[in-house]
Structure 1
Amino acid sequence: MRNLWGRRGHALIDYGTAPALAYAARRAGLGRRPLRCADTFVGLILLAVTTTRTPLGVVRAVPFRWHGRLELASVFAQLALPWLAGFAGDRRARRFFLGFAAYNFLVWWTTDWAAQE
């Protein structure tokens, strides 16, 4: 299952993930703080995909492998966020971010980070 996506495929997934995350966060009925955190990740995803060296990148400044390292770091941030941001007691928000972290890890795991340009 590993290495399903190259540079273009991963960029397409990221471009689709950003609006899907914004929509899902609103559908989930997240409170103010968790919604703000989700919106921050929407912006970070768009910033990352538009600045990474992929066929769909706009600025193409960030090496693809760095994008992967940052994406893996974001998985750990998403896992810890409910506790760090103080909304771990909100079961819906906690599950939302843990699910988002699992999804993000799956995308990271299935991407070929050594794919050629």
Structure 2
Amino acid sequence: MKPITPTMHGGLDYASCATMLAAPSLLNLSPGARTLSYLFAGSYLMVSALTDYPLAIRRMIPFPLHGKIELATVPALLLVAALQKETRDRAYFLGLAGTVAGAYSLTDWEANPDA
């Protein structure tokens, strides 16, 4: 049994969006890395707001599909990390990829979103 429920996952999603918006300034990332982080935050926010779980604004994306979308961002984050020239930027995107992979692997994607 996986410990992260759909509601918990939603909370993690919104917290991740806030982190991706705040971290670039706090970590003094390069302008390019900041922009990429903001783009990832925006895409995560859109998917989160439209996912079928209690914290959504409009429940349009099935929760298991949300998981597939999220999992697809891991290679994208790894690619972005590999393309960074600054060590700090690279470490940031590697950390994001690890966080997403961890949340994905601990989430119960088959759970009833309203349970």
Give the TM-score taking structure 1 as reference length: 0.90
Give secondary structure in 2 for the equivalent of 1:37.
Answer: helix
Q: 85, 96, 101: which is aligned to 1:105?
A: 101
Kindly state the Cα deviation for residue 13 of structure 1 after the two structures are TM-superposed: 0.7
Match of 1:7 in 2: 6
Segments of 5+ residues of structure 2 without an aligned counterpart are none
Partner Cα distance (2:54, 2:28) in 1: 35
Aligned partner letter, 2:107: T
Match of 1:90 in 2: 86
Kindly state the Cα deviation for residue 82 of structure 1 after the two structures are TM-superposed: 3.2
- Note the alpha carbon deviations across 1:53-104, whole angstroms, 9 max, x for none: 0011111110101100010000110011134xx4x22111111100111011
The percent identity for this pair of structures is 28
Are 1:37 and 2:36 matched, yes or no? yes
Are 1:80 and 2:75 matched, yes or no? no
Kindly state the Cα deviation for residue 111 of structure 1 after the two structures are TM-superposed: 0.5
For the aligned residue pairs, the C-alpha RMSD in angstroms reads 1.2
Partner Cα distance (1:35, 1:24) in 2: 9
Aligned partner letter, 1:106: G
Segments of 5+ residues of structure 1 without an aligned counterpart are none
Give secondary structure in 2 for the equivalent of 1:114.
Answer: coil
Moved over 4 A (4+): none
Partner Cα distance (1:4, 1:48) in 2: 22
